[in-house]
Structure 1
Amino acid sequence: MKILFTAEYAGSLDAFRQYDELEVTGWAAGDSKLSEDALIAHGQDADVLIVSYDDITARVIDACPQLKLIACTRANPVNVDLKAAAARNIPVLYTPGRNADAAAELTLGLMLSLARHIPQAHGALKRGEFTRATQGSNATQQGLRQDVVWDVDKSSPYEVFKGGELRNKTLGLVGYGSIGQRVGRLARAFGMSLLVADPRVAAEDIDEPGVRKATLEELFTGSDYVSLHLTVTPQTTGLIDQRLLGLMKPEAQLINTSRAAVIVEEDLIVALREKRIAGAALDVFASEPIWRDHPFITEFDNVVITPHIAGATRETLVKHTAMIAADLQRFLSGEPLHYRWPSA
C-alpha cells in the first residue's frame, strides 16, 4: 500500500511509516502546494492521499485508479471534490475540532486586546512614544516610598489607553459549535455572561446561570462583545450586515475568527467610520492577504487585525496528524470511521 503524504504535520510520521510505502512531498516536505499535474505524477499509484491544502479535483481522483481513501487535515475539506470521491466510493476523512482550542484562545486574546488596547499601547512604545531618551529612574520625594506612577495628565498612557474589564460584560456567541463552546467556557472564567444564537442548539441544552439562548436580534442588541463562529453556507454568507450591526450598542465591539464571508465587509467599514460600534478584531478578510491600503490598516485605530492565524499552533498539527493516523488504522481494519466527512 502506498500513502502520498503532503499535509502539514507535527511530531513523528511513524504511524504512517509502518505501511508498505510512504512518500512525503509538497507542503509536508517544506515545499509549496502541489499542482494537479504534480499530484497525479506522485499519486497515480497511491492507495491513500493525505493532504492539507492541495486541490484534490475530479481530474486528480480519476487519474489515481488505485485510490481507496482521501484524508484532509482540515475542519472542512473544501479542497476535495466530494462528489467525485463519492462516485468512486472513496471515503474522505477530515479533522473536526482540531484547531478549536487554538481559535478559541486567539478569540479571547483579541477580545482582551480590544478591551485593554494592548496592540495600540505596544505600538506606541515601539514608536518611541511614552519613553525617555536616556536610562534612569524617577526621584522620590522625601518621606515617601518609591512610586511607579510617572505621568498622570490627560496625555499620559494611563489615560490614553484606559480600557474596560471583561468581568460582568455580556458576550454574544453567533455559532455554538466546538469553537464557540470553548470561547464560552473561557469567557465564563473571566466572569462574562453569554448570549448564544445557533439554530442547532436547544435552549434546554445550555440552560445554566449566565448562559441564555437568544435570537440574532437579541444578541446584537444586548451584547458588549459579539464573536462570530460560523461556517460558510448560503444561509450565513453576508449574514452580519448593516441591519444587525446597527443593533449593536455604540460601545460594543465585534470579533471574527471564523470566515470573512459571513460579514458584509463594507457594512462593517461604514459602521466603524460612523462610530456606530466601538471597534472590531478580525483574523479574516474578504480578500486575503489583506490589501496593504485597506481601511482596516490605514484608517482605523480601533481595529485589531491578525493575518488568518486562528488555527496556527503546533498543537493543532499534532491533533490532526493523530486523528488521521487513528482513522487510517480503523479504515484498514474495517472498523467504523470516526472522522468521515458526512457527505462523502
Structure 2
Amino acid sequence: MKAFVTAQLTEQGINELSQSLSLEFGGWGYEGVKLTPEQLVERAKDCEILIVGYEDITEDVLRGLPRLQYIACTRGGIENIDVELVKCYHITLSNTPGRNASAVADLTMGLMIGISRFIPQTYRYIMERRWGDVPWDIAGNTPYKRFAGPELEQKTVGLIGYGAIGRKVAKRAKGFDMNVIVYDPYLKEANEDIFVASTLEEVLTTSDFISLHCKLSSETKNIICKETLNKMKAGAYLINSARGGLVNEEDLFQALLNKRIAGAALDVLVEEPMDPNHPFLQLENIILTPHIGGASQDILYHQTEMVVKDVQHFVQGKRPLHALT
C-alpha cells in the first residue's frame, strides 16, 4: 500500500512504517508549509493512506483521492478534518487523543504556580532593575511582603472538564496535596480521589483555582463570563490552557482590572497571535503564554507511537486503536 505523510514522525517510526508501506513525504512536517487541498491531492494521488498533521481534509481532497481508504491524523483535536464527511466517503479515520496531555498538564501546573507566586512579575522586577518600585530591605514594602502568594497545599482546584488532560492535572494537583473538585456533565465515572460537583456553580464558589479543560462548543463558549466570574472567590485564580473561546475576554479584563479575582494565567486567546494593543497587556495580575501547552519535545514520540500502531493495525486488516470512523 502507498501512503503520503505530512505529519512529523520520528525516524524510528518512519522505518517501522516503511516495512509495510511505500512512503512519500511532504507538507507541513517536512517542508514547513501546510499544503492546500489542491496540492495535497496532487502530491498524494494514488495513495490509499494519508498520515497528516495540520493539512485540511476537505471534500475536494476526498473526491480527488478515489483510492484513499484511511486517514491517520497526529492531532487530538482534529478541527482540520470534517469527520462526518469522512464517514460519508466510508474512509477510516483515527487521531491521537491525549498525545499532549502530559505537556498541557505540566504547563497548567506551571501557570498555577507562576500566577499565584508572582514568578513572571518578580523576574521582570529583577531583570528590569525595578528595585525602586519595591524597596529591597528588611522593612516596609519589601519583595517578601509585596509578592507573597498562596501555597498550593490544601487549596482547592476546580477542573471544568475531566478528559485526558484534566485527569493528569488532577494527579499532579494531588501531588501538591491539593483538593480537587470536578465539573463535567459528560463524566461517567471517576475512580480517583476527587469530588465530582453536580453544578458548575459549586465548582466556581468553592475553588481557589479554576482550570479549564473542556472542548469549545456552543455549550462551553464564554463559559467564563461576567456571571461566572462573579461567582468565583475574590482571591481565586483562573487558568486556561484549553481554548480561548471558553473565556469572554472583555469580562475577564474587567474582573482583573477591578481585582474581582486575584489573577489569571492564559495559554490561549480568542485571536492568535494576539493584538499588540490587547487590553490584557495593561494588567499586572495576568500571565500570557503563546499557546505552548503542547510544545513538548516528547510529543513527537507520543504521536508517532500511536500512529504507527494504528497504521499497522489497518494494514493487517484490523480496526485502528484510535479509530473515529
Please indicate, yes or no, whether the TM-score normalized by the shorter chain is above 0.5. yes
1:82 matched residue in structure 2? 83
Deviation string for 1:157-210 (max 9, x for gaps)? 2223222200111100101111111101111111110111011225x73474x6
Which residue number in structure 1 is paired with residue 146 of structure 2? 160
Report what 1:324 is aligned to.
Answer: 307
Q: Note the residue ranges of structure 1 that are not aligned, 5 or more in a row.
A: 132-149
8 Å Cα contact 1:176/1:201 also seen in 2 = yes
- Whole-angstrom CA distance in 2 between matches of 1:192 and 1:245: 22
Amino acid at match of 2:9: Y
SS across alignment from 1:314 = coil
2:190 is the counterpart of 1:205: yes
Q: Secondary structure at the match of 1:205?
A: coil
Query: CA 1:302/1:87 → structure 2, altered by over 3 Å: closer, same or farther?
Result: same
Q: Which residue is 2:98 aligned to?
A: 97
**Structure 1 residue runs of 4+, over 4 Å off?**
none
Contact 2:17/2:312 (8 A) holds in 1: no
Structure 1 Cα separation of the partners of residues 212 and 5 of structure 2: 33
Report what 2:231 is aligned to.
Answer: 247
Distance verdict in 2 for CA 1:20–1:252, change over 3 Å: closer
Per-residue deviation, 1:22: 1.0
User: Is 2:160 the partner of 1:174?
Assistant: yes
Helix, strand or coil for the counterpart of 1:195?
Answer: strand
Which amino acid in structure 2 is aligned with residue 316 of structure 1? I
CA–CA separation in structure 2 for the residues paired with 1:214 and 1:172: 13
Contact 1:283 1:305 in 2 (8 A): yes
Tell whether the 8 Å contact from 1:71 to 1:94 is kept in structure 2 after alignment. yes
Which residue of structure 2 lines up, in the alignment, with residue 139 of structure 1?
A: none
State the Cα distance separating 1:154 from its structure 2 match. Answer: 3.0
| CA distance in 2: counterparts of 1:212 and 1:236, whole angstroms | 18
Q: Please say which of residues 104-113 and 61-70 is displaced more in the overlay.
A: 61-70
Contact 2:116 2:237 in 1 (8 A): no
> What is residue 224 of structure 1 aligned with on the other side?
208
Mapped pair 1:5 → 2:5: yes
Deviations 1:224-271 (A, max 9, x none): 000000011221122222111110111101000001111222211121
Q: CA deviation at 1:27?
A: 1.7
Question: Does structure 1 residue 285 correspond to structure 2 residue 286?
Answer: no
Letter matched to residue 82 of structure 2:
D
Q: Percent identity of the aligned residues?
A: 40
Distance 1:14 1:171 in 2: 44
Q: Which amino acid aligns with 1:190?
A: F
Deviation, structure 1 residue 107? 0.2
Work out which of the two has the higher radius of gyration on C-alpha atoms and give 1 or 2.
1
Letter in 1 for 2:7: A
Bigger mean CA offset, 261-270 vs 48-57: 261-270
Q: One-letter code of the match for 1:152?
A: I
Give the one of 244, 251, 257 matched to 1:273.
Answer: 257
- 1:36-51 aligned at under 5 Å gives the runs 36-51=37-52
Distance 2:284 2:140 in 1: 19
Q: Which amino acid is 1:2 matched to?
A: K
Equivalent position amino acid for 1:17 in 2: S
Residues 44-89 of structure 1 deviation map (CA, whole Å, 9 limit, x = unaligned): 2211111111111110111111111111111122111223321221
In structure 1, give the amino acid aligned to 2:314: F
Mapped contact 1:154–1:160 kept (Cα < 8 A): no
Asked if the contact 2:38/2:60 (under 8 Å) is kept, the reply is no
Contact persistence 2:309–2:320 (CA under 8 A): no
Q: Which runs of 5+ in 2 are unaligned?
A: none
Structure 1 contact 2–19 (Cα < 8 Å) conserved? no
| Contact 2:96/2:307, CA 8 A, preserved across alignment | yes
**In structure 2, how many angstroms separate the alpha carbons of the residues matched to 1:105 and 1:214?**
27
Alignment equivalent of 1:151, drawn from 122, 134, 137: 137
Question: Aligned-pair distance for 1:336?
Answer: 2.6
2:188 corresponds to 1:187: no
Q: CA deviation at 1:296?
A: 1.6
Q: Give the 3-state SS of the residue equivalent to 2:260 in structure 1.
A: coil
Counterpart residue number, 2:286: 303
- Taking the aligned partners of 1:207 and 1:79, their CA distance within structure 2 comes to 33
Q: CA deviation at 1:20?
A: 4.1
